[in-house]
Amino acid sequence: MTIEEPAVDGVRAELNYLARGSRINRRYVAPGAEINTGQYEPHRVLIRNGRPLQETFTLDRHGFVIARRPTQIADFTDKAEVDARCPGEVVGIVQQLTGATRVAPLGWVLRRPAPTSTDVQPPAADVHVDMTHERAHRLAQRLYAEAVPGGPGFKRFIASSLWRCFSEPPQDWPLTVCDAASVDPGEGVPNTLVRVPVLPEGAALTEELPGEEGLPAAYVFHFSPRHRWWYFPDMTRDEVMLIKFHDSDHSRAWRVPHSAFRDPTRPAARARESIEFRTVAYFE
């Protein structure tokens, strides 16, 4: 299912994987800041340049796709404009790229080097998938019931993120995505998401957390030499990448670990600024 290429260039860079001995894995998120309690370790990996092959990547085979979709949004840092215009734009793009019957918008977050609010976070520099199997299914059922009360139901859903970089290239912390065919179905450790007004410190980070099992969670990953990483350098604001968090049809590529990484080949690159908008696409 992976692309076999005789000579594709790339960069050697470090990705932060979950350490094997990590036991309490949580991600605390406060306005403009976040912290992981898990223990992570860097692994130097080859991240292949997908530009020469970008037309060959598909959602069904690889779990991600890159496409040219110009935006009508003038200023992604203008919350009012993004709230007003981005959901409709994203829903249309996701419907085009997936062929889904309907798409439910979830919300957006900006990634910038100097975050200032809950809607703005730093680049996520660990290998992760934003939803566990259980969270994705609960979310899909709830959103569908809210959007289509008494509706016919759905046969399949895709929870995903539509990712767009709006800073000028080259970017210092590009996004890398892992070919879904190189990830074993049993991989992934739950990482609980805990939203707080202020980040806790010291022992408070790992103390018992009542109701933790009911909180949303992502997957974080241990290193595997099988993982096959790709990136698309010099992305522009008129390009998008659709990344699967969970596809309920596991006969297709159904999730994509991903991470930001510092590109060592671009020491003078600009700070990466991007927006990611999550949706659930339904096939009725």
Domain limits of the chain?
A: 10-52+64-283
Give the chain's radius of gyration (CA, Å): 18
Closest CA to 173 of 66, 67, 273: 273
At residue 140, the 3 state secondary structure works out as helix
Assess whether pLDDT exceeds 60 at residue 11.
Answer: yes
Spatial distance between the Cα atoms of 113 and 271, rounded to a whole number of angstroms: 7
The separation between CA 111 and the C-alpha centre of its own chain, rounded to angstroms, equals 11
Q: Which amino acid is at 71?
A: T
The pLDDT of residue 115 is above 70: no
Nearest partner of 119 among 244, 236, 276, 258, judged by Cα: 276
Distance of CA 216 to the CA centre of its chain: 15
193, 218 Cβ separation under 8 angstroms: yes
Taking only the tens place, the pLDDT of each residue in 249-268 is 999 999 999 999 999 998 88
**pTM summary value:** 0.92
> Counting beta carbons within 10 angstroms of the beta carbon of residue 33, is it exposed (0 to 12), middle (13 to 18) or buried (19 or more)?
middle
The per-residue pLDDT for range 49-92, each reduced to its tens digit, is 999 999 999 999 999 999 999 999 999 999 999 999 999 999 99
Please count the residues of the chain.
284
pLDDT digits (tens, 9 = 90+) for 156-203: 999 999 999 999 999 999 999 999 999 999 999 999 999 999 999 999
CB 111 within 8 A of CB 124: yes
Q: pLDDT band at 122, cuts 50/70/90?
A: confident
Burial class (CB in 10 A: 0-12, 13-18, 19+), 165: buried
Residue 213: pLDDT over 90: no
- Using CA atoms, how far apart are residues 136 and 87, in angstroms rounded to an integer? 20
